[in-house]
Structure 1
């Protein structure tokens, strides 16, 4: 079998009263996807910011002060997701968390294996809000995760968090490392922002001839400046070729509808397209790089200087 069942969360933020409510909510989400047979569960970027509700009220709008305060909740956050991964026998990519690292903070997406072991991918490229207001630092290094599937095959996937998906280089490095699935957890405050990540995800799926799974945060949270509004729809994209959808959209949920989007993804289709598609984007990446020389400016008119 070359099929993996993936659950993509359009995760709706709630103002939760205590840790028990958060634990119950995440437990319910994971149980729902696991009971539907999903092997890989993906939550959005900064879904962990829901925990800001548990901090003192004076920190709800303090984007710098909330960062160190959230670190006190991190051990319980990690233990909860590890326990749920073990309990249900699934791989969980948790909602990313602003984690203290060195002298600053990074945007970290933790991944929990079936036995509860954790690893992570840090976001590499910061949006203006992250860099200028929140002072979140870029992470270092690209990782590819190898997940052993129930049928005995191995799925290799990478995580291009939100803005990272808008650039070819990180996703290409993941594909070079064997990734056939790109996960794109996002937090976008407008339809324009969502569209940028959507277009980036579809472009990366086309370039790498791989699947891309887009998981958005959904929020109407005036109680926290860090959250406020978040919009989108869960979706799964693919290269439009060789038995895959002609519009490149495998599936998508409703706009701003919280819930799971669960689909079976056949890795054989991706492999066939890479080997014998109508076009061979993945093969031709080498030629594209070799033939992309510095641009020569050519004047088109007597008065145009070059």
Structure 2
């Protein structure tokens, strides 16, 4: 067999970043997500990452009116697409409130390659900053909930979202639970210095945790987009602009682990992270 005919050799984990521009229409957004699955399958990705609020987004504000249960059409459609393509997915959605609290939950769902719901992360740090009050429309996830860390092809992926990126203890808690890659679906609001913050914080979380960071921002009006992938040494391996696009990267698990050998800052730490009362 000639060298040109040999199948490509690649690292264990291939990740597709779908920097989409979502609307308030669940059905339309599901069509966009299915197209992203097809693109991920075409390049044999193991994981597809969609942004925060991928199920429904309104630049004037997302709220309970955009929510669907986990058994609704959007999540069901993602599960069907994952099973059909063999690609796992992390995606942002909005889940209705229950009981006495009418506010919705900002959630990232994890679906495995067979279409099974593998976990749900409920956003802990609500975006009550920069003249926004997400807590008016959403309730926070419990700070003491078990971290969402998924094993995919022998590599551990920890999940947080958007504003969580500003809190280093969120990332450290995931790393303490075994995460080697931090995945951050987001709808990062644009504004003065905001694009710089997004990139700088992603790089910082990578360096201080000797973990790769896959940060997927939504494209569209009032948002920065600018998805990026950062290596555990802080090197930016992929940086997108503000336009909708789909890109794929390979993550080498041996490279991730070798950085921790050469820079054992996690082993040298003297404090642990615990939730506040």
Give the TM-score range, shorter chain.
0.7 to 0.9
Offset of 1:267 from its aligned partner? 1.0
Q: Would you say the 8 A contact 2:157–2:179 is kept in 1?
A: yes
- Given the alignment of the two structures, is residue 158 of structure 1 paired with residue 167 of structure 2, yes or no? no
Q: Which residue of 1 aligns with 2:124?
A: 124
Q: Secondary structure at the match of 1:282?
A: helix
Q: How many pairs does the alignment contain? A: 254
Q: Secondary structure at the match of 1:183?
A: strand
Q: Which residue of 1 aligns with 2:141?
A: 139
Deviations 1:38-66 (A, max 9, x none): 1111111112224x6xxxxxxx96x58x5
Measured in 2, the distance between the counterparts of 1:193 and 1:145 equals 28
- Given the alignment of the two structures, is residue 239 of structure 1 paired with residue 226 of structure 2, yes or no? no
Q: What are the residue-to-residue correspondences of 1:160-175 with 2, within 5 Å?
A: 160-175=160-175
Q: Secondary structure at the match of 2:81?
A: helix
Q: Which residue of 1 aligns with 2:12?
A: 3
- Given the alignment of the two structures, is residue 71 of structure 1 paired with residue 78 of structure 2, yes or no? no
User: Structure 1: where are the runs of 5+ without partners?
Assistant: 53-59, 221-228, 241-246, 291-306
Measured in 1, the distance between the counterparts of 2:200 and 2:41 equals 29
Measured in 1, the distance between the counterparts of 2:66 and 2:46 equals 33
Q: Would you say the 8 A contact 1:147–1:156 is kept in 2?
A: yes
Q: Which residue of 2 aligns with 1:281?
A: 265
Q: Secondary structure at the match of 2:163?
A: helix
Q: Would you say the 8 A contact 2:66–2:94 is kept in 1?
A: no
TM-score, normalised relative to structure 1: 0.75
- Given the alignment of the two structures, is residue 217 of structure 1 paired with residue 218 of structure 2, yes or no? yes
Q: Which residue of 1 aligns with 2:86?
A: 89
User: Structure 2: where are the runs of 5+ without partners?
Assistant: 1-9, 273-277
Q: Which residue of 1 aligns with 2:3?
A: none
Measured in 1, the distance between the counterparts of 2:195 and 2:95 equals 21
Deviations 1:184-230 (A, max 9, x none): 1111221533332322221111111010001001112xxxxxxxx21
TM-score, normalised relative to structure 2: 0.82
Q: Secondary structure at the match of 1:116?
A: coil
Higher helix share: 1
Root mean square deviation, CA, Å: 2.5
Q: Secondary structure at the match of 2:55?
A: helix
Q: Which runs of 4+ in 1 moved over 4 A?
A: none
Offset of 1:164 from its aligned partner? 0.6
Measured in 2, the distance between the counterparts of 1:172 and 1:100 equals 29
Deviations 1:135-184 (A, max 9, x none): 311102242333342xxxx2211112011111111111111111100001
Measured in 1, the distance between the counterparts of 2:211 and 2:256 equals 6
2:35 is aligned, of 16, 25, 28, to 28
Q: Would you say the 8 A contact 1:11–1:258 is kept in 2?
A: yes
Q: Which has the larger radius of gyration?
A: 1
Measured in 1, the distance between the counterparts of 2:269 and 2:14 equals 29
